[in-house]
Amino acid sequence: MTGRFITLEGGEGAGKSTQAKRLAAALHSRGIECIVTREPGGSPGAEEIRKLLVEGEPGRWDAVTETLLLFAARADHIARKIKPTLAAGKWVISDRFTDSTYAYQGAGRGLDRETIRRIEAASTNAFKPELTLVLDLPPETGLARAVARNTNETRFEGFDLAFHTKLREAFREIVQREPDRCVFIDATGTEDKVAELIWRAVAGRFNL
């Protein structure tokens, strides 16, 4: 039996990391083995690339370089962690995946979709999750939450509000473009309420 691949997407401070852990706990309680991973990162090589991407000044990389780094990390993540885990029959829950590249580097930084698509095809063969949960909330709220985390990974938080507004619009468009794969999750409620919405979507999709 192969596992299932689920991703959580959304802007800064949307609660993806917290909800990924809660979803994993809910699956474990029902006897389903799973792991939680993240992007950029998730494998040793990809975690090294992550530091280049999420630390430093906003203008550290141009959009093309950033995208190439992201897909280099993603290719390693898929090959070394995601696919072997799925093949072992376990589920994989990833905090971010390719949709974030289309939102951040595409809509946010202005790189055209076709360029991203070509890089995606060359590096990952357009490998996709079975279900993507898009957590949505106003960018002002998300940025306030992200700043409160007080970590060194603040590069994307440093982009202006217009950038983060573009991200929100891009993620909403992704849900509209791929409704069979993506589910919109209102992330403005309490942590428990958001977890309930996510579980409802996962249970409905996989008949749990």
Whether pLDDT at 158 is above 70:
no
pLDDT in tens, 9-46: 998 888 999 999 999 999 999 999 999 999 999 999 99
* Neighbour-count burial for 47-76, b at 16+ CB within 10 Å, e otherwise: eebbebbbeeeeeebebeebbebbbbbbbb
Predicted confidence at residue 1, as pLDDT, reads: 66
Q: Which range has the worst mean pLDDT, 126-135, 147-156, 178-187, 198-207?
A: 147-156
The model carries a pTM of 0.92
* d(C-alpha 73, C-alpha 87), whole Å: 20
pLDDT computed for residue 8 by the predictor: 98
pLDDT value of position 151: 62
How high does pLDDT run on average in the chain? 92
143 pLDDT above the threshold of 80: no
pLDDT band, residue 152 (cuts 50/70/90): low
Q: Where are the domains of the chain?
A: 5-206
Question: What is the pLDDT, as a whole number, of residue 12?
Answer: 84
Q: Judge whether residue 163 has pLDDT over 90.
A: no
47-56 contacts: CB < 8 A, separation 24 or more?
A: 49/73, 49/76, 53/155, 54/153, 54/154, 54/155, 54/156, 55/152, 55/153, 55/154, 55/155, 56/155
Any idea which residue has 């192969």 for tokens? 2
Look at residue 136 in the predicted model and tell me its pLDDT.
Answer: 95
Summarize the confidence of residues 142-166 as an average pLDDT.
72
Residue 72 has pLDDT above 70, yes or no: yes
Give percent above pLDDT 90 in the chain.
79
Domain 5-206: CATH architecture, name and number where available = 3-Layer(aba) Sandwich (3.40)
Given a cut of 60, whether residue 79 has pLDDT beyond it is: yes
Whole-number pLDDT of residue 139? 85
